[in-house]
Amino acid sequence: MADATGEHYYLAELHRLKGEQLLAQAAGRALSLAAAGGALVAGTGSAAMAPAEGCFNQSITIARRQSARSLELRAVMSLARLYQEQGKHQQAFDLLAPTYRGFTEGFDTADLRDARMLLDELS
């Protein structure tokens, strides 16, 4: 869609949202499989998370290239949450902390408040 319109500012956000959608679909499939088998599945396998991780990394790269700090923060938060779910708490913290520290204002915005809460959970 962005290529068709020539509008690329939100390309990073589109990649992030695609990653979130892939995670939601994988979780839905896992729950469907669990219901069919009568067992409860707590999470999705890492193979199912790999495409989403790729989308988040692509989003981060694009946002950094565009100097779109808010979009970068959102993508970093999505990837950090994925790492948190995988038990990679230190990796999640190490990814999010420098991005969060790069902000000098706007700490009352929803994104920065969410980032601070996630950092607190990870530390």
What tens digit of pLDDT does each residue of 55-83 get? 999 999 999 999 999 999 999 999 999 99
Distance between CA atoms of residues 95 and 92, nearest Å: 5
Q: What is the pLDDT of residue 28?
A: 82
Domains, the chain, ranges and CATH?
2-122 (1.25.40)
Pair 13, 45: CB distance under 8 Å: no
Q: What is the pLDDT of residue 29?
A: 76
Could you give the dihedral angle defined by the CA atoms of residues 49, 50, 56 and 59, in that order, rounded to the nearest 10 degrees?
Answer: -150
pTM: 0.83
Q: What is the pLDDT of residue 40?
A: 42
Distance between CA atoms of residues 64 and 46, nearest Å: 26
Q: What is the pLDDT of residue 5?
A: 52
